[in-house]
Amino acid sequence: MTPVQPVILGEMPSLSKLYVNAAAQAARRRLMGTQDGSALPAESHEVRGVGVDVGNLTAYQHLIGETASDVLPAGFIHALAFPLAMSVLNRDDFPLPLLGMIHLRNSVQQLAPVLFTDVLDITAHVENLRGHRAGTQVDVVSEVRLAGSPDTCWRGVSTYLAKGVFLPGIDKPSPAPVRADFKAPDPTALWQLGVDTGRAYAAVSGDFNPIHLSVLSAKALGMRRSIAHGMYLASRALADVGAVRGDSFTWDVEFEAPVFLPCRVALDISSAAGTSGTWERSDFVAWNPRSGRRHFSGSVSLS
C-alpha cells in the first residue's frame, strides 16, 4: 500500500508531547465517545535530514551490549524512528487509542548498513487494520533512507494491539490460535534485569512511556509493576547474535508475557548454517526461569 500524500514534519516530533497529547485525546474520547470510523489515515508522516547524536549512540551500544562501531544497530534505528511512528498513531483520525496499546510483534529488515554520520529521511504510516481475538491490531511501518536517496536501507513493521477495542466493520475476532506447550530449553544466557532497566533504556531510546519507568508510574496506568521495553529485550537478543549477522538481515520478534522488573530472564539462541556452512539464521527464545512462561521469541536471518 502506498499512502497518498506524505505530511512533511519540520523536525522529529517530541515523544513526551505525543504522550501528553495522547492522554488528553483519551480523556476527550472518553467524554465525547469514539466518533471515528474504521478507516486508517492514508497519509504518511515524514521527517527529512535526521541526524544521530554520537554520544547517545555509544550509550545505547553500551547498554544493549552491541559492538560500539560506527554502524547504527537496527534497534537504534527503531528508536530513532519511533517518535515519528507514534505521531501517526497520535493523529486525530487514527481510530484506535494510542495509550495502552500492546506491542505484539516487530519485524525489521536491515537492507544496508547506516553510519552515524549519515543523514536520514524517515517516513512512517499505518496499514493493515484487522481483528484480533482480544481487540484490534494494526501495523505501523517505518522506513529509513539516506537523505535524498530513493532506496530504503531499513524497514520496520511494528504490530500493536488495542486491547478490548472492537471497531465496526472489522473482522470478527478470530479464535485464539492453539499454541504448542512451551518447554524451556537449556538456556545459553541468563540476564539479570534490575528495577532501573526501563529507565536506562528510556534514557538511550527516548521512550519514556510511564509503564516502563517505575512501579508508581506503571501502577498509575494499571500495571502491577513496571515492565521492560519489548524493544530493549529484542535488541539485546539481536546483539547477542553478534557480528555473524552481517550488514543486512531480517530481525523478527514476537512478544508474549511481559517482563516485570526486576527479574531474571533466561535466553536460548540457536544458530543454523546453510549448505555452504556459513551462517543462515539464529533463533532466540526467552522465558522466566522460575515460572517457565515465555516472554518473547524470534529470529535473525539472512535477508
Contact 46, 88 (CB under 8 A): no
Helix (H, G, I), strand (E, B) or coil at 109: strand
Whole-number minimum distance, CB 56 to another protein, in Å?
10
Nearest by Cα to 259 from 237, 241, 238: 237
Q: Which is nearer to another protein, 55 or 168 (CB)?
A: 55
Whole-number minimum distance, CB 190 to another protein, in Å?
17
Q: Which is nearer to another protein, 38 or 67 (CB)?
A: 67
Cα(135)–Cα(132) distance, integer angstroms: 5
Q: Which is nearer to another protein, 69 or 270 (CB)?
A: 69
Cα(25)–Cα(138) distance, integer angstroms: 19
**Residue located via cell numbers 530513493:** 150
Whole-number minimum distance, CB 70 to another protein, in Å?
6
Q: Which is nearer to another protein, 21 or 301 (CB)?
A: 301
In the complex, the residues that contact another protein under the rule CB under 8 A are 54-55, 58-59, 61-62, 67-70, 116-117, 242-244, 278-279
Whole-number minimum distance, CB 283 to another protein, in Å?
18
Q: Say which amino acid occupies 199.
A: R
Contact 238, 47 (CB under 8 A): no
Q: Which is nearer to another protein, 206 or 242 (CB)?
A: 242
Q: How far is CA 93 from CA 35, 84, 266, in A?
A: 10, 16, 41
Whole-number minimum distance, CB 42 to another protein, in Å?
40
Q: Facing residues of 162 across strands?
A: 136
